[in-house]
Amino acid sequence: MESKIPLIEKNKEGYLKVRLIECLQELELSLLMLKEGFSRNSAGKVFMAWKAFISALVVLNLDRISRDEKEKEWYFKTGFLAPTTGLKGISQRLEELGYNVIDLTSTALALHRYAYNGLYKGASDYFERIEAIKDILHLVKETLRLLKEYFKDRWSEELEERYKKVEEKVKEFTAL
């Protein structure tokens, strides 16, 4: 999403909506790239979708995610962006709050490495391309499922329309 993103301090709901839209757009792009045979590009896009999803979860829980003032300051300055280097710790904290995201974050990080390194031995979690493709599709499907589950109170017609587009594209990969 290339438009200006609202500041969380001024418009938390606006920021949340933009991140949810971004997540769905990135999922759609991931599937389009995968269909064209660009698995590494697809992996990068599904990773970006997952980061947007985690960012939205953090913003949804800004009032309860911090354990102390130092953490609170970090989440309000940086953590809400779900930076790659903090993704594991953020996901562990979200898990403590009841969100099942740790395993999917591990998959997203493996796909991130694949997007950058391909199948290079020692720098990739995958031995064969099909393994990465299966993880891409798994992460897409699980992200879709969790979007509806965790953001049902903020669901809108616009999100539903985008969701259905991605859902239709997923069906094109039923053979895998």
- Mean pLDDT over 72-88 rounds to 94
Cα–Cα distance for residue pair 98/119, rounded to 1 Å: 34
Looking up tokens 């499922």, which residue turns up? 145
Task: Please tell me which residue, 4 or 118, carries the higher pLDDT value.
Answer: 118
Cα 169–172–174 angle (5° rounding)?
125
- Mean pLDDT over 49-77 rounds to 96
Q: Which two tokens stand for residue 4?
A: 């200006």
What does residue 121 show for φ and ψ, rounded to 5 degrees?
Answer: -60, 130
Q: Which two tokens stand for residue 41?
A: 């590009």
Task: Specify the pLDDT at position 121.
Answer: 87
Task: Please tell me which residue, 122 or 171, carries the higher pLDDT value.
Answer: 171
Task: Specify the pLDDT at position 8.
Answer: 76
Cα–Cα distance for residue pair 2/65, rounded to 1 Å: 28
Percentage of residues of the chain with pLDDT beyond 90: 89
Span 113-125, pLDDT tens digits: 999 999 988 889 9
CATH number, span 12-171: 1.20.120
Span 14-49, pLDDT tens digits: 999 999 999 999 999 999 999 999 999 999 999 999
**Where do the domains of the chain lie?**
12-171
What does residue 67 show for φ and ψ, rounded to 5 degrees?
Answer: -95, -20
Q: Is the pLDDT assigned to residue 4 strictly greater than 70?
A: no
Whole-number mean pLDDT of the chain? 94
For residue 124, the one-letter residue type is S
